[in-house]
Chains A and B, each alone.
Chain A
Amino acid sequence: MLDICNIYKDFGSLKVLKGVSAHVEKGEVISLIGVSGSGKSTLLRCMNLLETPTFGEVWMEGKLLTQPDPYLHPEIIRASKTFEKLKAAGLADEDAIRKIKKEDLLHEKHGAEGKGYVRLMKEFYAANHLDANLARQKMGMVFQQFNLFNNLSVKDNITLAPVKIGTAKLKQAIREGQKTTETKESIKAAAEKKAMELLARIGLEDKADSFPASLSGGQKQRIAIIRALAMEPDVMLFDEPTSALDPEMVGEVLDLIKELAKSGMTMVVVTHEMGFAREVSDRVLFVDEGYIKEEGTPEEIFRNPKDARLKDFLSKVL
């Protein structure tokens, strides 16, 4: 349901991701492991567009989240005049594609049969693109530093997004003349009910009116997780969820994540907790120096690592 296609990410002159591709099935739990600076967090953040890939595409359930990358769509390149010119000059198909520069393509408005590269791209975009905000409503992210909203109570933290987004959708529907029984108040009531249910699930209902400043790290992170769940996402992304926790609180958070995995949620987890990765993942990806150097089941990765650097890494952490 989630497709990462040939992602490159540069920060200025620093190349962090150098051509990463991955596929996540619905219900799968994927762990990303690797040393600090390997690019695993960056990869995760490209999935919900907190970082914009320099090249490559991210697809979720058949919808394109990033800008289209022409090099991934040779058929569109073939339709361009520039391509035709190069072929006419005698170049083979593959060579022509490789030689084409993005700038040349962008200048071309009209190609063969009246549809140039730019036009085709626009059509492609219109047919497939999903706005980032809408995409993010279906993806939940949990951060290493929790990032609960300090100015809101726990309950407000959880209900803010459902209420704001629900109300916006309601206004949109009314504008379009659709009939609906919902009102602002009903949306708010439903969100609050859901929030209390989620809090009950982790045993923190009594903290509903507390503020984040008065909570422990473990409590904050568990609340951060259910805050993301309140939007009923299709996939949950975790960026080193336990790395900032005191050891005695790591367990309660990991338990919640495991519970979530068991319930069938699609998840991508960046983590240093190897035991957890082993126990919960369907697949483990070893990210190193901007590439995925090895991937496989937990058995394969942890018992039979093949890549030299992976072996090295595992020897240090296990």
Chain B
Amino acid sequence: MKKLVSMIMAAAMALCLCACGGESPDKAYNNYLKEITKGASTANGTLTVALSPDFAPMEFYDASKKGDAAIVGFDVLLANFLAKELGMKLTLSPMSFEACMAAVQSGKADISISGFSWTMERAENYEITDWYEAGDNETEQVIIVKKSNENKYTKAESFAGMKIAYQGSSLQQQLVKETFGQMSDVDINNVYSDIGAAVEALKSGKVDAVAVAKGNGDAIIANAPNDIAFSGFEFDVDPIYENNVCLIQKGNTALLEKVNAALAKAKEAGYYKVWYEASQIYSSIKTADELGYDENGVKITETAN
């Protein structure tokens, strides 16, 4: 009881403190955002982008900001870039993951940039853009487990007798089925509507492991470092799945071409890596020091002197 009281008092103090200042992990991010939107014209209409801001560092909310500016992340930077390249005004439409797909299908949104991977089904029902590489967010697909099992399970066979969970309709679901489907002693019938729920199941012991994208895993572990860790296992991923894509309404090839052209430009300029780093700092998955940024959010390059 005493401990509880002292914790509450600490929190009360923290509450007072948090009103004043603190670190601004958004410096690097804001620099890149400014760079992207500089000189943007909006002559060609509005680009409505549907996304589901519950997925750090790709898209998430900055609770200290209001309105559209509160939605941040790698995909947001990308969205701003695409809008500028197309000469359109950007409108962000936040909604649940399923709703995003419905929005593109119904035409309510022009495009959805929400950490999508390529899957056969999506290719059939939508126009899929070229891939973009959000750091190592998607390139590695891993399995997370409880901290006590950190790095203990490096092979598929190690998961004998365990329950593996994943988000429904996701790339991870596909990978889990492919990898573990034949193993009769692995329980892979643990579908969850969102990653958060699957993580809760892991914490409570209902399941033993959760398949996630590496970037996601980073974020989850950063928030529960004493509870969750990487299992050491990495999926063998077909390169085609390695990166993210955007979804566009089937048949809208005009927009598809323009977006692909813009993506090619971003790839050439090497933006993907630094945007991802800035987003990681912003969502506190990694620190500025770790990734080599100074206190003004500028990347420290080796050509110093």
Is any CB of A less than 8 Å from a CB of B in the complex? no
Residues of B within 8 A of A (CB): none
